[in-house]
Amino acid sequence: MMSQAWAMTRGQALYRDIFQIHPVLGIVIFYPFFFLLSPEAAVHAIKGMNLLLTGAAGILVYRIASSWLRNGTLSLLSASLFVFYIGRKWALSSYGGFYALLPILLSAYLLFCRRDPSRRTYVLCGVLWAIAFFLLQTTVFDIVAMVVCLFPFRWRSVRAALTSGFWLLLGFSMVLAVLSFLFVWQGTFDEAARSMLGSHVSGYARLGPGKAGVSDAIRTRWALLDFCSRKMLSVFAPLLCGIAFGMGRILLEWKERFRPGADSRSREDDARARLLFAACLVWLGANLLGVLALGRFYDHYLIPFVPPLALACVFWMSGMDPTSTRTVAGSSLALLILAAALHFATAAREDGLHPFKVRRSQSIAEYIRNHTRQDDRIFLYRFSGTDVFYLSQRPSTNGIYEYVDMCEEHIQDLELASAKRQELVEHPPAAIVLDPSVAVAPCEASKEFFTKLIDENYVRGKVILGSEIYLRKDRAEGLRTPEGTSGPSAPGP
């Protein structure tokens, strides 16, 4: 997405010149960095922003937990768990799901952790929900979960629900109107609507007509549910154990009805803690529905699960006496800090402070800059390092920045895939980057096309850290065969 934001600074229009099904704010958020800074500096500035956003989101998790649990130690543990899991490798990238955390958490804090929300609060939360939605479409499930929870928490009558709903809708509509105006002004409204909300999204989620239709979608959801459950268990095992303990606590308290000798204040605190736990379970269920709606799973889809898990897993400790709570929570915090230190040490030892993928992209980008013209365009096939685009300052030749987006097996749109392949034929890129170690599986139907395209029109210029750079023949004339490569006769993929 950063490469697409960079391409926008070079005059390419999102959804018209640049293919994308993710919402606009997930790409536009990077635009100011690439507009104001060099590509190398922009990346570091974005990482700095991500650290600040993680800290802000962690503070919100702390405030939400403290307002309902009324226990500073447990709130600190909940916020620390959130930051720890957001710092794991599967979450360390600039995904829309990461940026949507802040508006979702802020709206949850405003709606459920303060006094009765005012009209302005509801309008603001509507704006926040729209921002979250236009960062990632599946946040609609987070929004639905909050609406469900508003009925027992805030809305005690139909009139209150309708009035508050109107102000929420007004705030959401304000953001929608601004974005719609910008797309109309740019002349890309139809393309944007189709990409973010229409056929491209339904095809990606395997909900369109034909071979990958609704019946196939229903069958694949069961397999996806099983896989997602296993993945969550392997990644979030400690947090899920905490939730299991919380359910056990509720079961015991239900059998006892109330704790003998507990004063009214203690019973009130327990009731508030149970409400938070129940709301988090609703939130978790909504996020699981969001994954099932997408019809596929990638590791970064786990990001939206982190806030409700981090909040819910500490609930069971709130039922213990203060000394036991501090002891267990303090021990958990110490283990968490130790685990974070071990993760950091392991990552530094394996990849150093200058990761392999970064070094590879920088070397490839330098080679491309030196062997292509400034107005040339390139393509990455079976190569995931999209930072090569902005590091080499060469845009994509057909608006595809993630090569799988032109594979019908992935995007579930044969017409689109064929059109994008035709663009490659009509406007062949000056260079193609290929990583032979990347499996063909996501693009099996395109293998023959790319093999023929490269064999007939390109020669291998150089192999850099295992990745092959193919130059169009008119660009490769006069180049000497690099040492360690097989020269112009090298076979394609």
pLDDT single digits (tens) 317-334: 887 888 888 888 889 899
Based on the fold, state whether residues 34 and 89 are members of the same structural domain. Answer: yes
- What value does the mean pLDDT of the chain take? 84
Is 482's pLDDT higher than 50?
A: no
Domain boundary among 305, 321, 351: 351
pLDDT at 219: 67
How large is the average pLDDT for residues 399-424? 82
pLDDT at 175: 95
**Confidence class of residue 114 from pLDDT cuts 50, 70 and 90?**
confident
CA 197, chain centre distance (Å): 17
Is 410's pLDDT higher than 80?
A: no
Based on the fold, state whether residues 339 and 408 are members of the same structural domain. Answer: no
Distance (Å, rounded) from C-alpha 69 to C-alpha 296?
36
Angle at 420 between CA 448 and CA 195, to 5 degrees: 135
How large is the average pLDDT for residues 95-110? 93
pLDDT at 480: 47
Based on the fold, state whether residues 469 and 338 are members of the same structural domain. Answer: no
pLDDT at 484: 41
Based on the fold, state whether residues 338 and 390 are members of the same structural domain. Answer: no
Domain boundary among 351, 379, 411: 351
Based on the fold, state whether residues 318 and 182 are members of the same structural domain. Answer: yes
* Low-confidence winner among 26-40, 211-225, 359-373, 454-468 (lowest mean pLDDT): 211-225
- The pair of structure tokens assigned to 159 is 């009139």
- The tally of domains found in the chain comes to 2
Give one DSSP letter per residue of 176-239, joined into a string. Answer: HHHHHHHHHHHT-HHHHHHHHHSHHHHHHTT-SSSTTSHHHHHHHHHHHHHHHHHHHHHHSHHH
In percent, how much of the chain has pLDDT > 90? 37
pLDDT at 338: 92
pLDDT digits (tens, 9 = 90+) for 163-188: 999 999 999 999 999 999 999 998 88
> Which has the closest alpha carbon to 138: 286, 320, 330, 316?
286
Based on the fold, state whether residues 332 and 369 are members of the same structural domain. Answer: no
Pairing outcome for strands 458-464 and 467-472: antiparallel
How large is the average pLDDT for residues 184-198? 86
Based on the fold, state whether residues 165 and 294 are members of the same structural domain. Answer: yes
Based on the fold, state whether residues 105 and 222 are members of the same structural domain. Answer: yes
Based on the fold, state whether residues 390 and 339 are members of the same structural domain. Answer: no
Is 289's pLDDT higher than 60?
A: yes
Is 24's pLDDT higher than 80?
A: yes
378 strand-pairing partners: 396, 431
Distance (Å, rounded) from C-alpha 322 to C-alpha 329?
10
Distance (Å, rounded) from C-alpha 30 to C-alpha 370?
27
Of the two residues 483 and 435, the one the predictor is more confident about is: 435
Based on the fold, state whether residues 405 and 431 are members of the same structural domain. Answer: yes
Q: Are 387 and 378 in contact (CB under 8 A)?
A: no
Helix/strand/coil (H/E/C) assignment for every residue in 51-77: HHHHHHHHHHHHHHHHHHHCCHHHHHH
How large is the average pLDDT for residues 61-66? 94
> Using a CB cutoff of 8 Å and minimum separation of 24, what contacts does 450-455 make?
450/381, 450/492, 450/493, 451/492, 451/493, 452/492, 453/424, 453/425, 453/428, 453/492, 454/492, 454/493, 455/491, 455/492
pLDDT digits (tens, 9 = 90+) for 262-280: 555 556 667 778 888 899 9
Q: Are 30 and 96 in contact (CB under 8 A)?
A: no
* Structure-derived torsion over alpha carbons of residues 198, 425, 393, 191, reported in degrees to the nearest 10: -20
In percent, how much of the chain has pLDDT > 70? 88
Distance (Å, rounded) from C-alpha 260 to C-alpha 393?
70
SS3 call for 361: helix
How large is the average pLDDT for residues 391-408? 86
- The pair of structure tokens assigned to 214 is 């609704």
Based on the fold, state whether residues 190 and 254 are members of the same structural domain. Answer: yes
How large is the average pLDDT for residues 81-87? 92
Is 259's pLDDT higher than 60?
A: no
Of the two residues 258 and 224, the one the predictor is more confident about is: 224
- Domain carrying residue 179: 2-351
pLDDT at 33: 94
Is 159's pLDDT higher than 80?
A: yes
CA 25, chain centre distance (Å): 12
User: What DSSP state is assigned to residue 380?
Assistant: E
Is 110's pLDDT higher than 90?
A: yes
The model's pTM is 0.87
Based on the fold, state whether residues 364 and 321 are members of the same structural domain. Answer: no
Is 473's pLDDT higher than 90?
A: no
Tokens 């939605």 map to which residue? 133
Of the two residues 391 and 349, the one the predictor is more confident about is: 391
Is 366's pLDDT higher than 60?
A: yes
Domain boundary among 333, 351, 369: 351
